[in-house]
Amino acid sequence: MGAVVGTLTMQTSQRQPSRDKIDDELEMTMVCHRPEGLEQLEAQTNFTKQELQVLYRGFKNECPSGVVNEETFKHIYAQFFPHGDPSTYAHYLFNAFDTRNNGSIKFEDFVMGLSTLLRGTVRDKLEWTFHLYDINKDGFINKEEMTEIVRAIYDMMGKYTYPALKGDVPKQHVDAFFEKMDKNKDGVVTLEEFVLACQEDENMMRSMQLFENVM
């Protein structure tokens, strides 16, 4: 997620302070006319008013229309992973942010997800990650879904992936995870199994935090 945050905020830091103040006032007036105003977003997230202002300026820099479609989202990710192919992972991540399932991400959608990933509790972050892996949204993660996400991460990292990518590495990774997560051996992982396994296993938690860093 650092990639997206960096892209959406890097241009704002280059402006003059006086210009920032004027822009903040103008742009946040626009936010307050959205269905969810600034005060409501501040109450629903773990961001301050000032942080929301900075995030909104960056969001508008990249997305003047006020919404992000999937192609724009993929373009943003491609800038940060030039040695790999982030398109598949960006597709799944976009779907995780697109909570309305309408093919676009509004500022409200973006900051709600970002608040969870950056400021949420461990449980909040693990639940968000679970829903990312649950591609078909049936409330379970199967091996095929987890393999899809893990392979997409390896593809995105490209030649810098560690350990060096071999054809069966994603499968081995998933097999090891499932051995620990699927407590009742029914072939799928529930939310509670996922959270419990990550909380009980330090190595698994570190792996999930590593994946979180590319969000």
CATH at 157: 1.10.238.10
Residue 27 lies in a domain: no
CA-closest candidate to residue 109, choices 128, 96, 119: 96
Domain span at residue 171 reads 122-214
Q: Is residue 174 part of a domain?
A: yes
User: Does residue 59 sit within a domain?
Assistant: no
Q: Is residue 151 part of a domain?
A: yes
- 61 domain residue, yes or no: no
Residue 100 within a domain: no
Q: pTM for this one?
A: 0.77
Residue 77 CB neighbours (<10 A)? 24
pLDDT in tens, 152-183: 988 888 766 555 555 677 788 899 989 999 99
Write the burial class of residue 133 (CB in 10 Å: 0-12 exposed, 13-18 middle, 19+ buried): buried
Say if 36 falls within a structural domain. no
Domain count within the chain: 1
Q: What are the tens digits of pLDDT across the range 28-83?
A: 444 433 435 788 999 999 999 999 999 998 888 888 888 999 999 999 888 888 88
